[in-house]
Structure 1
Amino acid sequence: MAATTIDYEQAGELKFGQVGIANLRVRTLDPARLAAEMTERVQRAPKMFARAAVVIDFGGLSRCPDASEALALIDALKGAGVMPVALAYGTSAIEELSQAVGLPLLAKFRASYEREGEADPAPAPRRAAAPEPAPAPVPPSPAAKAEPGLMHVHPVRSGQQVYAQDRDLTVCATVGAGAEVIADGSIHVYGALRGRALAGAGGLASARIFCREFHAELVAVAGHYKVLEEIPRELLGKAVQIWLEHDKLRIEQLD
């Protein structure tokens, strides 16, 4: 009897971007399998995933799906309880596919695709030039000051979002359930964290999350996330730090 091979790798990798929209990067074009994975996520954390907006990212596949394949996946994801709202920008074939299935392209992902898909330009050849006289010395200018982190002193209430672009975020109060704090850098919460915290939203893997009282609905660093149901109960209510290590999200109690 032939041995059965078990595939433990997920068919789709789910990450979160700057505005909390889930980006589903499809690794295996299998609508039934992807729907089953998404159904499990919705059942495990319905407050987070039920009817969540999802961008479908076909950049992990070796070929662009045709319209019938994409529509089958869209229908399967809707049946699983989430709402596909766009395709992630990629190639001209993806642009044509977006028109065929009636979904917009999300330009937010454009820059990352172009960085991944384009080779670095070759340096231009240097031509010999006659030596020029040295310029007069210029007095050094004062060093440019780095932009300070964003300080938010009021509670972040349900339905509110605070985003620190290109910097850290410090919240000197509570982040309520249903609220969202996002930073391209690290996040510090000097109160209870009950909502969602997304650090390294622009892809900074060295970003961290610190909070004084941990009850978060979701935490993410550079798109890698955990929901409350996946977090050890002994960490709830404790002061913790959260960081990314070898593409795995680590959560530890602070001393």
Structure 2
Amino acid sequence: MELPPRRKLFDFQGVSMTHYFTDNWDNVQNFQARENDIMIATYPKAGTTWISYILDQLHYGPVAPKCQTSLVDRVPFLEMNIPQIPTGIEMLDKLATSARLIKTHLPVQFIPRSFWEQNCRMVYVARNAKDNLVSYFNFDPMNLAQPEPGDWNHFLQRFMDGKMVFGLWYDHVTGWWEKKQTHSKIHCMFYEDMIEDLGRELDRLCSFLGLSPSLEEKARVIEKSQFDNMKKNSMTNHSSIAFMDFKISPFMRKGKVGD
């Protein structure tokens, strides 16, 4: 497969974006959500794969379709539109599961209307801005779908100015947090809380979702979603994604707080 060219940022309705996430915009905005769909929303590098895998294991665990060997297939990326790869919409249309898990990095104002009309549950994960920034900086060189990162000083200034794909960290996090105050179906989680006590956060998440896993099931989810286990797991480490260059760095790096 020919690797996609890096795209440059441009202003899209007041938010920095690239064409990999806007060229299919009408189809994204017209996407028809179902009442039992669950949206996973994050700013990039805030724990998206972690919470996606936790939700996947809570809902499907060992009974997931065998043909879906990657988390990318099981939790499609709503707005993704990279050449030679099925779009997020196409992948969602093929999902056979009744309750679909749907990943997005969109700011809250860009979420398709049907998710609000269907009153879908949404799980938003936020991460401390400094750790989020460091993770993003280490991620962009190996992710060829991202713009050229440049050096640290340049990247830091871009981050503070909101010249990042999906915009300013502060606007993204506060936008979702403010929406939560008027929309009861949004559950906000924090990366640091998950690191501190995953069992406690899992209980809160299950309460929000109306799930009652057994102690054995809960222990299995916690064990499988440990960082070192996910880093070795081909389902979660994204080692099969063609536009990520693992010669530069792994997709999953440290998963630490205070790095």
Q: Report the structure, 1 or 2, having the larger strand content.
A: 1
**Which has the higher relative contact order, 1 or 2, with Cα contacts under 8 A spaced 6 or more apart?**
2
Give the TM-score of the pair, scaled to structure 2: 0.27
Q: Report the structure, 1 or 2, having the larger helix content.
A: 2
Larger radius of gyration: 1
